[in-house]
Amino acid sequence: MAKLDPSAQKKSDHTANYWLGGLTAVFFSLTIFFAFNSKPHVAAQPEIPLVDKKFLDTSPWRQTYADLVKAKEDLSDYDCYACHDKAKPPRIRYDTNQKIIIPKEHANIEMSHGTHERNNICYNCHNEQNLNTLQVRDGNVVKFDNIPQLCGSCHGPTLRDWEAGAHGRTSGYWDRQLGDINRLSCANCHNPHAPDIPTREAAPGPHYLHEASSHEPSKSHR
């Protein structure tokens, strides 16, 4: 083996230093490159339309007598004795088909309670001795702001479910020490005169955040 020339030795040290310096620069610039490009490159997501605000409104669709009192709204519909005589309860009139005739002063009332309008008779619920109150079948008088008591006198199992929180929308606190529990009145959802709840437009289904695969329902089913 030939003895290494010291000047050649120096030269190769020099070259090595250049290489190391160069590599350091390369790795350093890679570090910067990765640091600023760390996000994975994904195809641009299609814009997802936000759900129509009307589906997010949680306020009940009906106001009860109690709500009207609280909101200080017009209560003239409940001022029965502004028109009726205390001594003479209004007589219910029927047409030739035994269907109740709704007088024009009560034209806002649509009566349709039960299949075959089984529970359309006003005094099944209103108290003819005192129109400002309601009455249940055993004769007990119920105030206008205690509608569940009236409904429950005929719909016992539903009242039981409602009291347990299984029927009607319960909100507020489970832990009563933290706050009150809120129960909506039957009349917040059911019109007492026509309690069947009208069909509503269904809210749209969820949006997938990725392309729908064959396992997921197709767009036409959403």
Q: Between β-strands 134-135 and 170-172, what pairing exists: parallel, antiparallel or unpaired?
A: unpaired
Indicate the residue type of 3: K
Contact 172, 157 (CB under 8 A): no
The yes or no reply on residue 219 touching ligand HEC (CB under 6 A) is no
What letter does residue 170 receive in the DSSP assignment?
E
Q: Between β-strands 141-142 and 170-172, what pairing exists: parallel, antiparallel or unpaired?
A: unpaired
Cβ nearer to ligand HEC, comparing 6 with 157: 157
Q: Between β-strands 181-183 and 170-172, what pairing exists: parallel, antiparallel or unpaired?
A: antiparallel
Cα–Cα distances in Å, from 144 out to 92, 192, 218? 21, 12, 50
The count of residues interacting with ligand HEC (CB under 6 A) is 61
Contact 150, 139 (CB under 8 A): no
Cβ nearer to ligand HEC, comparing 91 with 210: 91
Nearest-approach distance from CB 55 to ligand HEC, in angstroms: 16
Nearest-approach distance from CB 184 to ligand HEC, in angstroms: 4
Stretch that binds ligand HEC, among 8-16, 26-34, 163-171, 211-219 (CB under 6 A): 163-171
Please, which of residues 184-213 interact with ligand HEC by CB under 6 A?
184, 186-190, 192-193, 195-197
Among 22, 114, 204, 217, the residue binding ligand HEC under the rule CB under 6 A is 114
Which residues 6+ apart lie within 8 Å of 175 measured at CB? none
The yes or no reply on residue 90 touching ligand HEC (CB under 6 A) is yes
Cβ nearer to ligand HEC, comparing 92 with 174: 92
Among 38, 167, 206, 211, the residue binding ligand HEC under the rule CB under 6 A is 167
Query: H/E element holding 74?
Result: none
Give the residue among 201, 185, 197, 45 at the shortest CA–CA distance from 112.
197
Interface contacts to ligand HEC, rule CB under 6 A: 64-65, 77-80, 82-84, 90-93, 100-103, 105-106, 108-109, 111, 113-115, 118-120, 122, 124-126, 131, 134, 137, 144, 147-148, 150-155, 158-159, 162, 167-169, 184, 186-190, 192-193, 195-197
